[in-house]
Amino acid sequence: MGRVAIVYNPTAGQGRAGERLPQVEALLTEAGVDYDLMLTEYRGHGLALAARAAGNSSYRAVVAAGGDGTANEVINGLMAVRNTNRAIPALGVLCVGRGNDFAYGVGIPTALEEGVAAIRNGATEPIDLGFLKGGLFPEGRYFGNGIGIGFDTIVGFEAAKLKWIHGFLGYVVGAIKTLVLYYKAPDMTITTDLGTEERRCIQVSVMNGRRMGGAFYMAPEASPDDGYFDLCIAGTPKRRQMLGLITRYMAGSQASSPHIHTERSRIFTVRSDGSPLSIHADGETVSTEHTSLEVECIPRPILVIRPVPATADVQATQIAPA
């Protein structure tokens, strides 16, 4: 069935991915997966490696081995080839990064043994992608999991500055700092399938997946193959109310809050009142100073590899072992 290209980011998870490489290779060899290993060396390298692999017809799949940022680069590499009207390999994921929110949202296991088993003899299913224009990407950029605007993006920026605190605790420290120093809800003009409305918003999430930050269920009911984004928009809660919302995000129960508006839409555009918008897509910075963004849901442009469904009513195409 052809070889598998592994686009591996050794710096994912603060370098822990590099430490796990011998384990990953041993599992792949033990499972009988025929693969080529491609190590990323700099930001954006995963995109170039994935595009090169996608242009090689001998690969049945291109596997992103890292975190959400690595998956994002591989997605964009695959789509660069698809947009030349060429067939592309399926997308696989091995979770050796931190959040792994994209993998979670599309049903890919985070355990390495299960991930390797899926690569060897899993099933392919189509998923939607988002396409954004604006910020650092006026020409456009694809994303797999979701976009954050406002509070959660600033929290991520602050957490990334912490050298000795990582993971969930880093997010908590970042959230406290953001609440104290950067808590401002700009006026936004937002357009969705339902029309255009002006809102003051402290935070907006545009989700194809279900989770962000490894623990925060911004769209617990989202489906990555239904042709729609799930939107979660926080208005103007006071600081102490925002603390309460953070705990609700962790439980996925924020929709019942009077400060939260949810809807589903195929498009999303936002323009601020001139205040800069902090925006990320799949955890990667899109904007720190721009004031607008356009987003569109692209229905089912790629296939992902995940474990064979346990129920017969799920349609999937099984991949023969390598």
Question: Rounded to an integer, what distance in angstroms lies between the CA atom of residue 320 and that of residue 33?
Answer: 11
Same domain, 195 and 56: no
Number of domains in the chain: 2
Going by their DSSP bridges, the two strands 203-207 and 3-8 should be labelled as: unpaired
Which domain does 164 fall in, by range? 133-299
Q: How far apart are the first and last CA of the chain?
A: 6
Same domain, 221 and 289: yes
pLDDT reported for residue 235: 96
CA-closest candidate to residue 107, choices 308, 320, 248, 313: 308
pLDDT reported for residue 297: 98
pLDDT band, residue 1 (cuts 50/70/90): low
pLDDT tens for 81-100 read 999 999 999 999 999 988 79
Residue 255 identity (one-letter amino acid): A
Same domain, 289 and 168: yes
Question: Residue 96 falls within a domain, yes or no?
Answer: yes
pLDDT at 68 over 60: yes
Same domain, 169 and 281: yes
Question: Residue 127 falls within a domain, yes or no?
Answer: no
Question: Residue 143 falls within a domain, yes or no?
Answer: yes
pLDDT reported for residue 312: 42
Q: What is the CATH number of the domain that holds 52?
A: 3.40.50.10330
User: What's the chain's average pLDDT?
Assistant: 92
Mean pLDDT of the region 42-66: 95
pTM for this one?
0.92
Mean pLDDT of the region 240-259: 94
Question: Residue 70 falls within a domain, yes or no?
Answer: yes
pLDDT at 317 over 70: no
Q: Of the ranges 158-162, 223-227, 239-243, which is most confident?
A: 223-227
Same domain, 202 and 105: no
pLDDT reported for residue 321: 40
pLDDT tens for 267-306 read 999 999 999 999 999 999 999 999 999 999 999 999 999 9
pLDDT band, residue 180 (cuts 50/70/90): confident
CB-based burial label for 315 (10 Å; 0-12, 13-18, 19+): exposed
DSSP 142-190: EESSEEEEEHHHHHHHHHHT-SS--HHHHHHHHHHHHHHH-----EEEE
Same domain, 16 and 51: yes
DSSP 240: H
Residue pair 61/92 in contact by the 8 Å Cβ criterion: yes
